[in-house]
């Protein structure tokens, strides 16, 4: 379980995150939703120690993440950032191999190689191993970064808008992949999503954020409800059930 306690982040006097308590249960897929600027990426950065909080703590299966060595944390939790600005000229294989660094420190074993190949296969990038990242399309590059997280083979995997730049086919494939990681491998997947239909279809839990706070948490039917989503986004939103599936319609 990831436990967030009294966590806050300020930039100068400006508070951008303020969460009294939030538990992300072990196992399953949790979707974080909410408008631009709600604090979703800030929360993921604090949970993964990419950023330091102004106050409060994050516990990973009972361990305060501040007490963990970098390698130990990286063997337990991996994160895909929202902006993967990377200037180095790397091949796809070199990038994904970084996911094995916490285990092998750069000397890849046969197991590491196999994990890299497996991750590349899972995102459908076999055959692209030797391409440089700047020779890929935006969606292919995004999938290479998803493969990097998968290769890290951690119990907890956090993804900040992993569907960015993906066509609908690959978006569905990535969500199914995350679902399988949870169902078959027992991983805990936390994913920031803007597409509420993807959240409704593929997540177990939904965390709704607004103005730096968690405003709703619960199962999909508990949170994906028009009366909660309308004020969250300030829009006319309709939620219906078709063949047992929740469908979110947005009227612009």
Ligand X SMILES: Nc1ncnc2c1ncn2[C@@H]1O[C@H](COP(=O)(O)OP(=O)(O)OP(=O)(O)O)[C@@H](O)[C@H]1O
82 binds Mg ion (CB under 5 A): yes
Cβ atoms of 8 and 19 within 8 Å: the answer is: yes
Binding test (CB under 6 A) with ligand X, winner from 25, 37, 121, 138: 37
84 binds Mg ion (CB under 5 A): no
216 binds ligand X (CB under 6 A): no
Tell me how far, at minimum, the Cβ of 46 lies from ligand X, in Å. 9
Using CB under 6 A, which of the segments 29-37, 53-61, 107-115, 165-173 binds ligand X?
Answer: 29-37
| Residue closer to ligand X, measured from CB, 37 or 231 | 37
Cβ atoms of 32 and 191 within 8 Å: the answer is: yes
Tell me how far, at minimum, the Cβ of 11 lies from ligand X, in Å. 4
Cβ atoms of 220 and 203 within 8 Å: the answer is: yes
16 binds ligand X (CB under 6 A): yes
Coil, strand or helix: which one is 85?
Answer: coil
Number of other CB atoms surrounding residue 209 within 10 Å: 25
* Residue 49, CA distances (Å) to 52, 60, 67, 190 in order: 6, 11, 11, 15
Coil, strand or helix: which one is 221?
Answer: helix
Number of other CB atoms surrounding residue 160 within 10 Å: 22
Query: Which residues, 6+ apart, have CB-to-CB distance to 204 below 8 Å?
Result: 28, 29, 30, 182, 219, 220
Using CB under 5 A, which of the segments 19-27, 33-41, 49-57, 179-187 binds Mg ion?
Answer: 33-41
142 binds ligand X (CB under 6 A): no
Binding test (CB under 6 A) with ligand X, winner from 38, 58, 144, 223: 38
* Partner from ligand X, Mg ion, none contacting 216, C-beta within 5 to 8 A by type: none
| Residue closer to Mg ion, measured from CB, 41 or 154 | 41
Using CB under 5 A, which of the segments 24-32, 36-44, 93-101, 137-145 binds Mg ion?
Answer: 36-44
C-alpha 19: how far from chain center: 18
Using CB under 6 A, which of the segments 33-41, 59-67, 87-95, 107-115 binds ligand X?
Answer: 33-41
The size of the interface with ligand X (CB under 6 A), counted in residues, is 11
| Residue closer to ligand X, measured from CB, 36 or 70 | 36
**What is the tally of helices (H) and strands (E) in the chain?**
10, 12
Tell me how far, at minimum, the Cβ of 192 lies from Mg ion, in Å. 6
Helix boundaries (H) for 27-167 = 40-47, 70-74, 92-97, 101-104, 110-122, 138-151
Would you tell me which residues interact with ligand X (CB under 6 A)?
11, 16, 34, 36-42, 82
């Amino acid at each position: 379980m990831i436990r967030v306690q009294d966590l806050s982040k300020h930039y100068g006097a400006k508070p951008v995150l303020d969460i009294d308590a939030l538990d992300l249960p072990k196992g399953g897929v949790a979707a974080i939703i909410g408008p631009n600027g709600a604090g979703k990426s800030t929360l993921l950065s604090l949970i993964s120690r990419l950023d330091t909080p102004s106050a409060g703590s994050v516990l990973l299966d009972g361990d305060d993440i501040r007490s963990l060595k970098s390698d130990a944390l990286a063997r337990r939790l991996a994160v895909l950032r929202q902006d993967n600005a990377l200037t180095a000229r790397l091949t796809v294989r070199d990038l994904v191999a970084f996911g094995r660094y916490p285990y092998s420190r750069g000397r890849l074993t046969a197991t590491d190689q196999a994990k890299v190949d497996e991750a590349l296969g899972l995102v459908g990038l076999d055959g692209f191993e030797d391409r440089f990242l700047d020779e890929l399309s935006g969606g292919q590059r995004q999938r290479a970064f998803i493969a990097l997280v998968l290769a890290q083979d951690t119990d907890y995997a956090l993804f900040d808008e992993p569907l960015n730049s993906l066509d609908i086919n690959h978006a569905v494939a990535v969500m199914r992949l995350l679902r399988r990681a949870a169902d078959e491998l027992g991983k805990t997947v936390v994913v920031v999503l803007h597409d509420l239909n993807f959240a409704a279809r593929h997540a177990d839990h939904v965390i709704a954020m607004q103005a730096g706070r968690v405003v709703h948490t619960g199962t999909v039917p508990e949170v994906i409800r028009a009366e909660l989503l309308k004020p969250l986004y300030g829009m006319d939103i309709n939620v219906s059930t078709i063949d047992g599936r929740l469908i979110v319609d947005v009227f612009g």
